[in-house]
Amino acid sequence: MSHTLYDQMRASQNPFNVGFFRSIATSDELFSIMPFRAEGGSAWSYEREVSVGSFGFIAPGGTVSASNGTTERIEIQKREATSDFVIDNFVIDNPGNSGVDPVARQQLMKAKAAGRALAGNVINGGAVNAATVGPELSAAVTLAAASPFVSDRAEGGDISYTHATTTWSFRAPGDRDFGPEVVSASDNAALTLYGASPSKWIRISTTAASATEDAVARVTFSVSGNEFSGLGALISPAQTIAKSGAVLDFAMLDELNDKVKDRSGRQAYIVSSPMRRRINTLIRAAGLSDNNLVLGDGLSAPSFNGIPILVNDYITNDGTAGRESIYRVNLELDRGVWMGAMGSDPMTVEGDPRDAVVMGFRMREVGQVSNKSQSQYRLSWYGALALGSDLSAARLFDVKVAAS
């Protein structure tokens, strides 16, 4: 069972809950309608589909082939985000005649700040900060990026180089065997290496002139910050379309849409505000309808081909001014993009974040500040983003809103 922030806001009979979750839900269009599910413990695991096996025709009485579908078990580390606020006891005890509780007002403002921070992390969270390649290949390999299912594993993996065929391969953390070999077509190449499963990958730059013999080197990772991995890190290279600064057009959106094969849940594009204005301009110029789709109480969004276009203002330039990403996601438990958070199971609307963890959120009264006439409060959140299938999300990378 899952809830969205809007579900929690609408169904609760607790006035504080309504205001609390409204403050979070209205901070970002994507975050407000993302499914949440309660996950206990400091981490949780789930099965991801890797392949479905084969099926084909045979002659009557012919030989039947056998093939099994395969899955992989993914482990997600739950993260903690938290912040305090302090109020003078004088203000608490003398609220005036406005009817506004100064503590509740600060709690709702802190909830809004939390919503904004988490919405940004859904896109940008989790980047490889550093990688160390063993001395056998350190002069020949530079790591450019890595799947969070690889970089979150402290034990690291291995890179193999075969000189006669100039091929590279990768053994991901926890794997017994190396993944498929990739041929380096030039002395200096940018390669994507996969482990035994498609979710475990690294992107490397090679300098073949510095690799003169067969070698295997250990590679270890460290990740910046303590945040969970966002869509920018979770979406695989196979689901990323690079456009090298081209101006967005309908054909690109169609190409991006075709990348998402699993459409079992609510579908959405995720863009910046300027990019959504660009899409709306294209729609109107073509004489098409830009009907808004109602997504929740007080929330609607324009659509393209019946799929809502949601704004996330934390989508930043892709390293070059004026170039951005567009994301296409399936918001569905288990198979798509969803949020695992600490809370009761099932997540009940009766829960009050001041008394229990609800959808990952917990508001605590820390107590009196030492040597000051002040009270301290803390808002915490526990959870992480999950992607149930590589085919449930895609990214259009390095695209422009308008011509330079």
List residues bridging with 204 in a β-sheet.
Answer: 143, 191
Tokens for 287? Answer: 């004489």
- Same domain, residue pair 211 and 189: yes
- Same domain, residue pair 264 and 395: yes
pLDDT in tens, 128-145: 667 789 999 999 998 888
What pLDDT is attached to residue 129?
A: 63
Tokens for 67? Answer: 């093939």
Secondary structure (3-state) at 45: strand
pLDDT bucket at 346, cuts 50 / 70 / 90? very low
Domain-located, residue 311: yes
Whole-angstrom distance, CA of residue 207 vs CA of residue 217? 15
- Same domain, residue pair 116 and 19: yes
- Same domain, residue pair 155 and 218: yes
- Same domain, residue pair 138 and 101: no
Domain-located, residue 49: no
Domain-located, residue 373: yes
- Same domain, residue pair 202 and 173: yes
Greater confidence (222 vs 136) lies with 136
- Residue type at position 244: S
Domain-located, residue 60: no
What pLDDT is attached to residue 42?
A: 87
167-171 and 393-400: which strand pairing?
unpaired
Where is the domain boundary, 173, 199, 223?
Answer: 223
Where is the domain boundary, 223, 247, 273?
Answer: 223
What pLDDT is attached to residue 348?
A: 55
Domain-located, residue 46: no
Lowest mean pLDDT among 34-43, 155-164, 287-296: 287-296
- Same domain, residue pair 255 and 370: no
pLDDT in tens, 173-221: 888 899 999 998 777 788 999 998 888 888 888 887 788 889 999 988 7
Rg (CA), the chain: 24
Mean pLDDT, the chain, integer: 87
Helix (H) or strand (E) holding 376: strand 374-387
- Same domain, residue pair 134 and 282: no
Where is the domain boundary, 223, 240, 263?
Answer: 223
pLDDT at 288 exceeding the cut of 70: yes
Q: Where in the sequence is the domain holding 235, given as residue range(s)?
A: 231-336+388-400
| 341 in Cβ contact with 383 (< 8 Å) | yes
Phi-psi region of 200 (alpha: psi -120 to 50; beta: other; left: phi over 0): beta
Domain-located, residue 59: no
- Same domain, residue pair 102 and 150: no
- Same domain, residue pair 278 and 396: yes
Supply the pTM of this predicted model: 0.87
Domain-located, residue 165: yes
Chain mean position to CA 1:
20
pLDDT in tens, 333-342: 888 999 998 7
Q: How many domains does the chain have?
A: 3
Whole-angstrom distance, CA of residue 203 vs CA of residue 180? 14
Whole-angstrom distance, CA of residue 22 vs CA of residue 36? 15
Domain-located, residue 62: no
- Same domain, residue pair 257 and 393: yes
- Same domain, residue pair 373 and 347: yes
* DSSP output for 197-248: STTSEEEEEEEGGG--S-EEEEEEEEESSSPPP-HHHHS-GGGEEEEEEEEP
